[in-house]
Structure 1
Amino acid sequence: MAFEPPERLVRALGETYGDAVAARRLGQLPELAEAAVTGLGLTVDRVQAPGGRSSLVLLVWRQDGTAAALKLAPAEARPELERDALRHWAGWGAAQLLPPDTSSDAARLLPPDAASALLLERLHPEVSLRSLPEAKALLEAAGTLRRLWVEPPAAHAFESVAARTERQSVPMRGELPPELAPLAAAALEARDHLTASASEELLLHGNFRQSKVLSAERAPWLTVGPEPVVGERAYDLARLVRDRVEDLIAAPSGASVARRRVNKLADALDVDPARLHGWTLFRAVESGLRARAAGRTEEAELLLEFATWL
């Protein structure tokens, strides 16, 4: 199957997994896509662009004429965990898995890599919550996120918030420029306190933000692209606080708006504002330092300036 991988996917795979793994995975994509499309009896409409940061998304038609989306992610992204989370949510607040999934008779004929493909109900990728005015978008986002916070399945394989953030903390504990070291130290101190005192073990989206909530037919809004993790709600809500960060930075009252947003979202979802503040700080600093290391200077500056406001 001939296609050009979206530029964002090419860049993100290189940043996340290194050039060697990225080149290997990108080289495998055409064969993997062909095997999945053939094995699942699909007809390709088009490649979704810009698509996911770590996956190729094909908009397809099933044999019964219904529209669907086929998501192909590298093994390093653990697509089986996304499948487990989507199956557990069963369409409640999230895109629904469609049959046949990888346990079907048709899918057993696929090679191992193709069997990790996710066949999902097709949403409207061109219409996310970012298309709404900010206040309305935050309201809809909060309602969607609330639906996802459920008890995880028994004997699950999801990573914990403590484990994920410990892994993310490793480069933050290294040598940093003097102007960034105090900010990183504050973020790490907040993270250590939060993980030591956590009392919730819920299934979380893990990467929730406005652009992950798309218009749908079955419901007004459904979320996509989870990176499932188990832990407290404040962790999941923290990424939403800094949505549209470029607008916040550009606004004269951006700092006060950001602080009010913490309290407003915490109140709307019955989350301790102090814990939401701490996770917002950690996640903003971690993302900012990661962007800086990847050479995304403008993004890094926005995130780190935002973090100084908290």
Structure 2
Amino acid sequence: MKQALLGLLLLCVLSSATHGQTAISPVCSRQSSPTGLGMSSPVAEAATEGDEKAPVAQAALKLAFAIENSIPDPYIGVSGNFDGQGLSLGLIQFNLGGSIQKTFGPVDDGVFASTMPKWGDVFRAAVKTASPSAAIKQVLVMQDHVGKRWIVKPDAIAELQAFLGSREARAAQDRAVALEYKSAYRRAAQWAQERGAKTPTPREIATFVDNQVFSGGFLGHMWLKQAKQFRDSFKGDDGAMIAFVGKWLRSCPASGSSLLYGADEGKANADVWRSRFPSGTQLSDERALLFVFGFVRALTANGPPKVAGQPDQSGIFKSQVVQRRALIALGTGKANGIPWPGGVLDD
């Protein structure tokens, strides 16, 4: 009994030495959570306006568009019902959870008819339908259900791309993205101010642009307080902190019913981080806190709401959230195959 207790004590000491004092499990799953950090909501967004046409803004948006679409013209990106949201379209993959309706609802009916001779009536009806579940059901006829996958039919892809590439639909996307950027910039400015800086850095802007695009602007009740608390648990060793997150990424299931999207790429990124940021590495406060924010925010990422009859996506995006935010904070690795662009975002 005494030996067993001593063994348990030694195991706890070794675990503490390896993983700091964090209570967060290093084992990845869709149920992973920011255990021990508590939750808090920041005050209202900073009362400041960002210019979506500024070079840093354009660079941050271009990075988000590339990660979302991975095609030369992100305006015409089309994805099927992989996430239970019917369709994901365009610059920031607007979906039928509401953003497609809001973005393309004002587009004239004639544009639907002229660019989508076969599928225009179906798509327009979905765009004009306020109920997400009803709109999602309407567009499933444009897709083939192969196993567990929904694949948009070739003629439907062609027509959707023609619509999305029209002058009117491009302008509608630009207007929607401008609003998203302004909200992201206000949040970045708030983060910077609470960190003690007068204005947000390019990486902070890019981080909150990505949070706006991929996480709907939601913070998951994670903020600067939680980021500092997690970082402090590693007692100044940012290399050990990065290694902990890397271990979590490596354990994410890449197949089966419990898989997380992007798990294979996550393992590759963890290997890159291990060589670039060994134990003892110390990052700037700006980059370390952004890295941690990406991780703890990912732990609260529960995916789109469950829609009756659609696949359960709860927690399936956690690994991808970590990788997207880490790409920005660390400036290395890839997210959805996209490398860090550098340039003005490195300033």
Q: TM-score, normalised by structure 1?
A: 0.29
Structure showing greater radius of gyration is 2
Which one scores higher on RCO, CA 8 angstroms, separation ≥ 6?
2
Q: TM-score, normalised by structure 2?
A: 0.27
